[in-house]
Amino acid sequence: MAAGHAHPLYRAGDSAVHRLPAHVKIVVAFVFVLAVVATPREAFAVFGCHLLLLAGVWVVARIPPGWLATRALIEAPFVVLAVLLPFFAAGPRVEWWGMSLSVDGLLAGWNILVKGTLGVLVSVTLAATTPLRDLVSGLSRLRVPAMVCVIATLMLRYLEVIVAEARRMRLARVSRGHDPRFVWQLGATVRSVGALFLRSYERGERVHLAMLSRGYTGTMPAFTTAPASTATWSVALLPAAAAVVCAASGYWVR
C-alpha cells in the first residue's frame, strides 16, 4: 500500500542514519523531543547545544540545511503567535526600539519558537531518512496498536490520491471560468470541498469492499523487521542521551 511509496519529505540516501532501523530512529526522535521540551526556557545556551546535536545528525545523513529549512516552514503559524505574545502578554515590561514588550511574553514567545522549531526539525529529519513503509513497520515493531498502524497506512496511501483529486477539481473549475481570487466565487470552492468529501467517502467504501473481497479481516499483513542489535541501539541513542544531559544541565546553568 502507499506506505511503500516515497513521500515528499523523504530524501533518499545511503548514510548511516538512513540505514538505522526505523523503530530505533522513532525512539531516538521521541527521546530527543522530550529532552527539548524539558529544557528550561531560560537556558538559552542549552538550546544551542540541541541544535548542534541535530546539525551533527544532518552532517552524517548528508541533508542540506537549506532543504530542511524550506520544509520546516510548516511551523509558520506558531512563529506568528510567538511574535505577537510580547506585545499582548501581561506582567513587567521593557522598552526596545520604542516598543513596550512584556518580559513574560518574550520568554513565552521564545519558548514556543525555539521548542517548536527544534521539534519540527527533529520530525523532518526522521521523515527525511525513513521511507513511509519503514515508519509504519517501525511503529508496529514498537507495539503500537494494530488499528493505529492500519489507519496510518491507509491515510498515507490515500492522502496523495485525495490531493490529486482536489487538483483535478480545481483545474476543472478554472477551465470553466472560475477565478478563486474573487470573494463572490467562494461558494464554488466551498461546494467543491463538500463534493471532495463525498467522493473520498465513496472511494473509501469501494476500497473497503475491495479489501474484504481479497480476504481482509481487519488487520494488515504483519511487517517483518529484524530487531536492532545492542551496538546499534547504543550508537543511535548517543544524540538523544546527549540531549537529555544538556536538558538536565539547563536546570543548573540558569
Q: Is residue 58 part of a domain?
A: yes
Q: What is the rounded radius of gyration, in angstroms, for the C-alpha atoms of the chain? A: 23
Q: Is residue 38 part of a domain?
A: yes
Q: Is residue 35 part of a domain?
A: yes
Q: Which domain holds residue 95?
A: 2-138+227-253
The pLDDT profile of the chain, 254 residues, written as one tens digit per residue, is 444 455 677 888 889 999 999 999 999 999 999 999 999 999 999 999 999 999 999 999 999 988 988 888 888 877 887 888 888 777 778 888 777 788 888 888 899 999 999 999 999 999 999 988 888 888 888 888 888 888 887 887 788 788 888 888 888 888 877 776 666 667 777 888 888 888 888 888 888 898 889 888 776 666 566 778 889 999 999 999 999 999 999 888 66
Beta-bridged to residue 101, according to DSSP, are 94
Phi, psi of 96 (to 5 degrees): -145, 115
| Contacts (Cβ under 8 Å, ≥6 apart) of 31 | 237, 240, 241, 243, 244
Report pTM.
0.77
Q: Which three cell numbers stand for residue 251?
A: 536546570
CB 120 within 8 A of CB 75: yes
Q: Is residue 207 part of a domain?
A: no
Structural domains of the chain, count: 1
Q: Is residue 127 part of a domain?
A: yes
Local structure of 222: helix, strand or coil: coil
Percent of the chain with pLDDT over 70: 90
Q: What is the DSSP code string of 149-168?
A: HHHHHHHHHHHHHHHHHHHH
What pLDDT sits at residue 140? 84
Q: Is residue 101 part of a domain?
A: yes
Q: Is residue 217 part of a domain?
A: no
Average predicted confidence (pLDDT) for the chain: 85
Q: Is residue 10 part of a domain?
A: yes
Comparing C-alpha atoms, which of 119, 107, 100 is closest to residue 42?
107
Biggest CA-to-CA distance, the chain: 70
What pLDDT sits at residue 21? 93
Beta-bridged to residue 93, according to DSSP, are 102
